[in-house]
Amino acid sequence: MAPKAARRLGAALACAALLARAPIGARGQEQTSPILPALKPAPLPPRVVLPPPPARREGVPTTPLTAEEAARIALRRQPAIASARAAAESAAGRTRQARSGLMPSLGLGAGYTRSEGPGGSSAGGAGATGGGASFPGWQLTASLRQLLFDFERTRQLVGQTAALERAAEASLTRAQLDAVFEVKQAFYAYVQSERLVQVNEANVQSRQDQLTLAQARLAAGLGIPADTVRAQTAVAAAVLALSVARNNAAQARVSLALVMGIDPRTPLSAAQSGEPAPSDQPVGALVDAALRARPEIVQARESVAAAEHGADAARATDAPSVSLSLGAGARGPNLPPANRFVSVGASIQWTPFDSGLTAGRVREARGAIDAARAQLEAARLSVTADVARAYLDLRTAEQQVATTDAEAANAEESLRLAQGRYRAGVGTFLEVTDAQAALLGARTNGVNARSAVDLARAAMAHAIGAPILPR
């Protein structure tokens, strides 16, 4: 044996001999009671609340809102929808302007002319006297003009603006669908954040109960100071997490009010409601329904139709146009004038040589058709991808709910066993804190999984172009 090891063994044997010769009472008197730790409590701060706006807007209920009620408010108040509706109204006005070229136009005129002097100088009175010769006195005219034919150019222009009007209406529908989806996303995010607040409130309560248990065991001489320190630290961490969760919920409420188109300071509360499940159909049927109903597809198709009408109108740029006009009037020194007249006329306009204007317009129109068709194909691919992603997210979210339910149940049982072992003195407080952390994570996962189901259902309804809201 090495000399160093021999010396250590000898010292250990000497210590053991001294302890063996000492009286039992003396050994007990040398033990000291544990020192109580100096703990700094972590008080739970009050919830931060935004002051409400000076006046609550009409149409915003004070009762808890459902996702459908929030979406209805957004459809009335969101500025993006008002902008899309104004664009559709402007498109309707342009269609009416183009259609007026096919209808007869009526013009009225009135004037008065006074002639003086040998040179026939004249001073004009009020109103229009028309072109050509000047007649003294009053002159009243009425003219009617009608386009007879221009090789369908005007009619094609009407078809183009009508297609653009339908595209604008589809754009309005798209804005409404997007607004409803955006509101539902914000609504379920708010519901999720409020549920997480409840989870963290329960976690704070459990941590406080565990601190009480650790202090009671220490006071009874069964625990150790480190357990109370660890318990108080866990309480502080739980309080901090609860404060963060409350702030997230307040921020989510502000975001919900913003997408609803109301003052973000407006007090809101969400009803504990969920998104209805979509019909159980195969992916192919869902894609077909989306390609029929999505406003992006309708808008792209109408854009193609508008481009085709524009190409037909461009080909007729240099074609002749024939118009018929009828006129009637009266002139004379008195009012009403007694000298009446009627005129009938026809006119033809034709530009046989336009230096390439028609060819340039046709080429431009063909490019517009190709671009519109490419946008239509891109819209089809995008819609198909939306349906595919929504389907995958929905099925995955539904599976995760069952998994998180099992996780939460097992975590609750683990915490119950750990607390029982600690009370009985056969387990450590570290087991309790670990089990409580696992339970917090499991409950958080459960809230997130259920919110993911609601969001995935809303995304599926948006992807297939479901009706905006039930009647």
Would the pLDDT of 270 be above 50?
A: yes
Output helix, strand, coil percentages for the chain, rounded to the nearest 5: 65, 10, 25
> Residue 288: exposed, middle, or buried by beta-carbon count in 10 A (0-12, 13-18, 19+)?
middle
Confidence of residue 86 (pLDDT cuts 50, 70, 90): very high
Residue 270 DSSP code: B
Mean pLDDT of 61-68: 86
Q: What is the pLDDT of residue 294?
A: 94
Q: What is the pLDDT of residue 53?
A: 83
Q: What is the pLDDT of residue 203?
A: 95
pLDDT tens, residue by residue, 344-403? 888 898 888 888 998 999 999 999 999 999 999 999 999 999 999 999 999 999 999 999
Q: Are the C-beta atoms of 190 and 249 separated by less than 8 Å?
A: yes
> Is the Cα torsion angle 144, 150, 152, 157 positive or negative in sign?
negative
DSSP string covering 85-105, please?
A: HHHHHHHHHHHHHHHGGGS-E
Confidence of residue 8 (pLDDT cuts 50, 70, 90): very low
User: Strands, DSSP E only, in 333-401?
Assistant: 339-349
Would the pLDDT of 19 be above 70?
A: no
Name the residue with higher pLDDT: 34 or 129.
34
Q: What is the pLDDT of residue 11?
A: 42
| Range in 77-86, 169-178, 272-281, 299-308 with the lowest mean pLDDT | 272-281
Q: What is the pLDDT of residue 137?
A: 84
Would the pLDDT of 247 be above 90?
A: yes
Closest CA to 407 of 448, 434, 445: 445
| Range in 41-45, 196-200, 311-315 with the lowest mean pLDDT | 41-45
Confidence of residue 278 (pLDDT cuts 50, 70, 90): confident
327 forms bridges with which residues in the sheet? 143, 343
Q: What is the pLDDT of residue 56?
A: 65
18-22, 144-148, 226-230, 243-247, range with greatest mean pLDDT: 243-247
The rounded distance, in Å, linking the Cα atoms of 48 and 44 is 12
Would the pLDDT of 120 be above 70?
A: no
Would the pLDDT of 38 be above 80?
A: no
Q: What is the pLDDT of residue 81?
A: 92
Mean pLDDT of 149-172: 92
Q: What is the pLDDT of residue 195?
A: 95
Q: What is the pLDDT of residue 29?
A: 42
The rounded distance, in Å, linking the Cα atoms of 441 and 199 is 10
- As a whole number, the mean pLDDT across the chain is 85
Would the pLDDT of 135 be above 90?
A: no
pLDDT tens, residue by residue, 414-457? 999 999 998 888 888 999 999 999 999 999 999 999 999 999 99
Confidence of residue 279 (pLDDT cuts 50, 70, 90): confident
Mean pLDDT of 90-103: 92
Q: What is the pLDDT of residue 59?
A: 66
Main-chain phi, psi angles of 221, to 5 degrees: 80, 15
**H-state helical runs in 265-356:** 283-293, 295-315
Q: What is the pLDDT of residue 128?
A: 42
Q: How far apart are the first and last CA of the chain?
A: 95
Mean pLDDT of 133-152: 83
Would the pLDDT of 143 be above 80?
A: yes
Name the residue with higher pLDDT: 221 or 107.
107
Confidence of residue 21 (pLDDT cuts 50, 70, 90): very low
340 forms bridges with which residues in the sheet? 330
